[in-house]
Structure 1
Amino acid sequence: MRKDINFSPVKDVHVVVGKDGEGWKVFLINRTRDKLENVMVTSRGYGETKTEKQQTSTLRHLIPFIEPGEYALIEPIDESVFHLNNEYWVSYFIDGQVYDKKFIFVPDSILEENLIFIEELEMKGILHD
């Protein structure tokens, strides 16, 4: 059962929403000294407007591994969902130990004025830690 699993705290693993000439994309960056193995990312958007609740489809992504100092593309993201909570639930293993964390970009946090240069990606983006 989930309560019986020891989840260690996630450090130096980040979700980034970056923008390049093709549009907005979501990446996972490994800034640890360890190889991330069996990386599972579940993404979804949810929230509500003045009149209704909104929810996107839940997508699941499996990345076999991410080497130290490397990154992986999770998915493209459309500007039409920036008004929602955009959640990325990341789970992975390091040396047989499971790590797990939810990264949530709150509504309207994905904005041009919040972009910073992300060295690994060599592009501007919004880094969530």
Structure 2
Amino acid sequence: MKKDIKIPKVKDVYIAVVKEEHLDYKTQDWNAYIINNSDADLDTVLIVSQGMSEDKMTPPMRHTISKLPARSYAKIEYLQEKVLELNNSFKITFFEGNQMFDKTYLFRKNTINEKALQTVPLMQLKGVLVQ
């Protein structure tokens, strides 16, 4: 039965949007990352990202990471400046051992900006973090 299905709470997995230099184009770009700050490897990480507001919606972007080792991170996607004006959600599903985990991370519109930068775990960069 539905009430018998238990999906445990996600811990130590974050989404960060980091502003970093693009070496080829010499621009400052916003990039989304998934961070695994736990002691366990994550398998079959599925990510669906989408920007939305009352009157606008981006198409969903789907990403797969076959394995995200413990204490590591991986780039998800580049975020255009126009998308930062929308609510941006990242729905993450992954396996840790034989257990499935699922969580949706939400960056509210205009919260990804220079004033919100903070130190991001495991990365030597500053960004906006959602836990």
TM-score normalised according to structure 1 size: 0.91
Query: Cα distance, 1:88 vs. partner?
Result: 0.1
The reply on whether 1:123 has 2:125 as its aligned counterpart is yes
Tell me which residue corresponds to 1:8. Answer: 8
Residues 52-71 of structure 1 aligned to structure 2 (within 5 Å) = 53-71=55-73
The reply on whether 1:24 has 2:30 as its aligned counterpart is yes
Tell me which residue corresponds to 2:87. Answer: 85
What one-letter code is carried by the residue in structure 2 that aligns with 1:76?
Answer: Y
What one-letter code is carried by the residue in structure 2 that aligns with 1:9?
Answer: K
Structure 1, gaps ≥5 residues long:
none
- Three-state SS of the structure 1 residue aligned to 2:82 is helix
Q: Residues 99, 26 of structure 1: CA spacing in aligned structure 2 closer, same or farther, 3 A cutoff?
A: same
| Match for residue 41 of structure 2 among 2, 24, 35 | 35
Aligned 8 A contact 2:51 2:88 in 1: yes
The reply on whether 1:46 has 2:46 as its aligned counterpart is no
Aligned 8 A contact 1:39 1:63 in 2: yes
Q: Residues 60, 107 of structure 1: CA spacing in aligned structure 2 closer, same or farther, 3 A cutoff?
A: same
Q: Residues 63, 3 of structure 1: CA spacing in aligned structure 2 closer, same or farther, 3 A cutoff?
A: farther
Aligned 8 A contact 1:6 1:98 in 2: no
Tell me which residue corresponds to 2:26. Answer: none
Question: RMSD in angstroms over aligned alpha carbons?
Answer: 1.5
Give the distance between the partners of 1:110 and 1:79, measured in 2 at CA.
10
Moved over 3 A (4+): 1-5
Give the distance between the partners of 1:123 and 1:107, measured in 2 at CA.
22
Give the distance between the partners of 1:32 and 1:74, measured in 2 at CA.
18
Q: Residues 29, 47 of structure 1: CA spacing in aligned structure 2 closer, same or farther, 3 A cutoff?
A: same
Q: How many aligned positions are there?
A: 125
Aligned 8 A contact 2:18 2:30 in 1: yes
